[in-house]
Copies of this chain bind each other. A is one copy, B any other.
Amino acid sequence: MATLATDQRVYNFSAGPAVLPVSVLEQVRDEMLCLPGAGCSLLEMSHRDKRFLEILADAQAGIRELLGVSDDYEVLFLQGGARLQFSMIAANLLRGQDKAAEYMLTGSWSKKAIEEARKEGNVNVTWDGKANQYSQLPTAADYQIPADAPYLYYCSNETIQGVQFQSEPTCPGSVPLICDSSSDFLSRPLDIAKYGMLYACAQKNAGPAGVTVVIMRKDLLAKGSDDLPGYLLYRNHAENDSEWNTPPTFAIYVLGLVTQWLKKQGGLQAIEKQNHEKSQLLYDVIDAFPDFYQGHAKVDCRSKMNVTFKLPSDELQAAFLAEAASQQLQSLKGHRSVGGIRASLYNAMPVAGAAKLADLMRAFAEKNA
């Protein structure tokens, strides 16, 4: 990354940790030495302080309001990232069961989730996207879920491949649906009542690294065994309102500010519209130059969050990245496991950022195709 003048912000297409709203960063900056009225920085404040408990409650309320989460669900803030959830889900809900949990294998993140689940019990891979390099997702006709499965697990947006479920998989009412929504959390409205559990690490669409949001139906909290390592038992966190031990206070504070920002943007319907618009700007160029930009995802599985494509050669790809960097378009390199280009367009990416990248793509293709 080239060195820039101190205060020059660029368009940052990182897949996570990722772009945050400038107004949120400004508030964090302004309150860094002293949270108004608190006598100290949020960073210095006990997690048992009334003031922090309000911040935690506000962050929970923000999520509840944006997604319409009912009292049938807990909203928890955990550490360990989404990958610790891969283990916690299976340790709480699969360990000791003889039925197999159902997992949709749709890309790199669901693959890793399956690896962890296999340590805890039986896994049935409901559907496997390997034959098409994880460029497409199953439709209801492709699978059937036994009514007594412990749960059905899927990843709503595979961040690395750039494929996104446009709606929830079909799942019997008796089977809890569990979703890794790490990279499209709060990007669109959802009907939470369809889920047993939905979770997301915050560092893509909802805040900084260091906190993972877990939305879990309360009946599922009874399932884990008391023999589990204490941190891994969801019940402990629910019974102590995310203060079973010291929570990641700063990450929760920033996440709360992001939910406030989202409400000011008009909530999830408004942000979904904008996310559609931004991603369409890029997909339109890909479709206009289909031989030059090889989009990875099948059209009906395209992610609105992570737009993934390849150029005809490694040389052209390197030239494209260099040209982008010179125009202050940053962190566009695809994940090291798959290569190519990945433009992540989370909520806080302005339309102008996507438009500038679309312009570059068009100009670059016209010059080099």
A residues touching B (Cβ–Cβ < 8 Å)? Answer: 1, 3-10, 12, 14-20, 22, 25-26, 28-29, 32-34, 36-41, 43-51, 79-84, 86-88, 91, 115-116, 119, 201, 203, 208-211, 227-232, 244-251, 254, 328, 330-331, 336
Contact = CB atoms under 8 A, between A and B. Distances in A.
A296 B330 CA distance: 56
A217 to B, nearest CB: 22
Given A79-B81, A254-B43, A9 B33 contact: yes
Contacts of A4: 37-39
B209 A39 contact: no
Contacts of A246: 16-17, 81, 201, 203, 209
B19 A7 contact: no
A80 B79 contact: yes
B227 A36 contact: no
Contact of A80 (B15, B46, B80, B203): B80
20 contacts: A1-B49, A4-B37, A7-B34, A8-B34, A9-B33, A17-B47, A19-B44, A28-B32, A79-B81, A79-B248, A81-B245, A82-B245, A83-B244, A91-B229, A115-B230, A116-B230, A209-B249, A210-B249, A210-B250, A210-B251
B230 A83 contact: yes
B37 A6 contact: yes
A223 to B, nearest CB: 16
A249 B208 contact: yes
A136 to B, nearest CB: 26
Copies in the complex: 2
B247 A209 contact: yes
A14 B39 CA distance: 12
Contact of A25 (B22, B33, B254): B33
B330 A39 contact: yes
A29 B40 CA distance: 14
B40 A32 contact: no
B6 A36 contact: yes
B87 A231 contact: yes
Given A10-B40, A40-B330, A44-B12, A231 B80 contact: yes
B25 A9 contact: no
A39 B79 contact: no
A201 to B, nearest CB: 7
A43 to B, nearest CB: 4
A230 B118 CA distance: 11
Contacts of A19: 40, 44
Nearest to A85: B231
A41 B20 contact: yes
A4 B231 CA distance: 36
A245 to B, nearest CB: 4
Nearest to A6: B36
A84 B16 CA distance: 24
A24 to B, nearest CB: 9
A17 B1 contact: no
A228 B86 CA distance: 12
A19 B39 CA distance: 11
A201 B119 CA distance: 28
B17 A44 contact: yes
Contacts of A208: 43, 249-250
Contacts of A44: 12, 14, 17-20
A281 to B, nearest CB: 21
